[in-house]
Amino acid sequence: MKRTSFFDNPLTIIALLFVLVFGSAGAACRWMAARALKGSEVPQDWKTIETDFFSVAVPPTMKKLDLRGIDSQVMGFENDEIRFVIEYGAYSTDVGFSLKYYEGESEPVVIDGKTVELISYNANKPLENPKGAVNADGRNASGPVEKPYVTGVQFPRDGLVFAPNRHLTASFIASYKTSEDRETAQTILASIKFKDK
């Protein structure tokens, strides 16, 4: 009696190829459909923040915050409407993690030629309030957050190569008072320019 293999049946091979091609194609199509992040044109009076790795434009009314990181560089800027925090280095904030706790959405966008997930959520609309959760403003107490609307991106470590064996990750997060401030937040994010190799 001849032994047959699972792969001897041509229909099985076709079915497996179909699953492999179209199963992973859904995720690939989402990334391929990414659009350039839209924001307003950067006004001429905005100031440009320069680092060795990137530049980003912020409104002239934003003041630099005194923030310190442990194993990454942290910078922050704030005015009455928006708080903008940048974290870059070996680690950065996983912006998408907040979607486990707050109502929000994620969509692929292109910033400076790099496809990333744009995360947006409302920190005053929790999905649930698990013990130990921390609000967007750093408090772990329940209650309203002053700048509850959050829009941000995280560039993964493998996407930012600045020199041989010098890979960084970076997150850029804007928190703002009203949904009308989202366009300004997106203009800030759309202005990101990397100096990677």
pLDDT value of position 25? 46
pLDDT of 183 strictly over 90: yes
Residue spans per domain, the chain: 1-33, 35-194
pLDDT value of position 162? 62
Q: What is the mean pLDDT of residues 13-23?
A: 53
pLDDT band at residue 135 under the 50/70/90 scheme: low
- Answer whether 168's CB lies under 8 Å from 88's CB: yes
Of 118, 70, 76, 63, residue with least CA distance to 90: 70
174, two tokens: 């804007």
pLDDT of 129 strictly over 90: no
pLDDT of 24 strictly over 50: no
Q: Which residues, including other chains, have CB under 8 Å from residue 111's CB and lie 6 or more apart?
A: 36, 37, 153, 189, 190, 192
pLDDT value of position 119? 96
pLDDT value of position 29? 47
Lowest mean pLDDT among 56-70, 81-95, 140-154: 140-154
pLDDT value of position 175? 96
pLDDT band at residue 27 under the 50/70/90 scheme: very low
Q: Domain spanning 35-194 has what CATH number?
A: 3.40.1000.10
Of 72, 119, 74, residue with least CA distance to 98: 119
